[in-house]
Amino acid sequence: FLMCGIAGILSEKFVSRQVVENMLSAISHRGPDGRFVFQSAGYIVGMTRLAINDLQGGMQPLSDESGRFFVMYNGEIYNSPELRKLLLGKGYNLKSDCDGEVIAHLFSEFGVESFSYLDGMFAIALWDEFSKKLYLVRDQSGEKPLYYSLQDHSKGICFGSEINCVRTALKFNPSLNLDAIWDLPTFLWVPEPQTIFNEIVALEKGGIIEFSVNSVRKTKMRKGLNINLPDLNSFNDKTSWVRNIVQNAVSSRLLSDVPVGSFLSGGLDSSIITALAASEIGPIDTFTV
């Protein structure tokens, strides 16, 4: 099933680019529209792209105009039009129409706090070329997956969009997490941050890892900066208020340079979403199993 994927390594030891190429091969099914690799000092990162927005100009990494911050990411930033206006108003120059370009520029303006401005689904790897620091970030709902493994007493980190991708980069066979094996038939999934392997863990939803060689800091992004609910008093009733919120949420997710479709589960949720989307962009293809 298709979506972008990212993979990378930061280490004080020499790492061959081929290691990251192998990681990308493990997730090639996620992105048929492009494969990109960025390398700086001990940092190598790549991504496989499924092109949705700015089909020609959305190649990664995406950087700020100073050339300090470089972003590889999987996902979509729903409020990128509003963030773009904010950045243009502050004098920043954006050179593409890709929704992800706002990330590097926001970080240049607001630092780590910038991630709290993002309304979307995302797994981000942001590299600070000056401080040689890596930031791994996952959206607050945990929609986009991101896994990592610390190596050699935290002197290195490898990360990727899938567990098998990270496993490909390890120089050893990771050990089975017996608790996770017990949890899987109990809950039908493995509760995060655990995975089926002890040495590979999931970045928690809303989590941020600031990593440089010999330094690891874990934080959580602050909630609320991307929430702008309409005033309830400006609506006749709560039903109209809720409808407005849902309509705006659906509308923001229709940002796409390729055809939009809808998955139908047979329930009210997907039916409402599809009806609202169709009312805005006309008939859309729907799929169900």
Q: Which two tokens stand for residue 67?
A: 């050339």
Torsion over CA: 220, 221, 222, 223 (sign): negative
Q: How confident is the model at residue 154 (pLDDT cuts 50, 70, 90)?
A: low
Quote the percentage of the chain above a pLDDT of 70.
Answer: 94
Q: What whole-number distance in Å separates Cα of residue 200 and Cα of residue 81?
A: 36
Which has the closest alpha carbon to 72: 16, 18, 27, 14?
A: 27
In the chain, the percentage of residues whose pLDDT exceeds 90 is 67
Residue 224 clears pLDDT 70, i.e. is over it: no
Can you tell me the distance from the alpha carbon of 29 to that of 101, in angstroms, rounded to the nearest whole number? 24
Tens of pLDDT, residue by residue over 191-203, are 999 999 999 999 9
The yes-or-no verdict on residue 140 having pLDDT over 80 is yes
- Whether the pLDDT of residue 96 is over 50: the answer is yes
Q: State the Cα–Cα distance between residues 87 and 65, nearest whole angstrom.
A: 12
Q: What is the pLDDT of residue 255?
A: 82
pLDDT at 115: 95
Does residue 150 carry a pLDDT above 60?
Answer: yes
Confidence band, pLDDT 50/70/90 cuts, at residue 97:
confident
Average pLDDT for 44-52: 85
pLDDT value of residue 241: 92
* Residue of higher predicted confidence among 204 and 97: 204
Q: Which of 4, 98, 158, 165 is catalytic?
A: 4
Report whether pLDDT(170) > 50: yes
Per-residue pLDDT, 57: 63
User: pLDDT band for position 114 (50/70/90)?
Assistant: very high
Q: What is the mean pLDDT of residues 2-21?
A: 90
158 is catalytic: no
Q: How far is CA 211 from the centre of its chain?
A: 17
128 three-class SS = strand
- The yes-or-no verdict on residue 167 having pLDDT over 80 is yes
The pLDDT mean for the chain works out to 90
pLDDT of residue 73: 93
Q: What is the pLDDT of residue 1?
A: 45
More confident: 160 or 254: 160
Kindly tell me if the per-residue pLDDT of 288 is higher than 70: yes
Poorest-pLDDT segment among 55-69, 95-109, 250-264 = 55-69
Q: What is the pLDDT of residue 50?
A: 74
Give residue 54's pLDDT: 57
φ/ψ region of 142 (left if φ > 0, alpha if ψ in -120 to 50, else beta) reads: left
pLDDT at 139: 94
- Mean pLDDT value of segment 256-285: 90
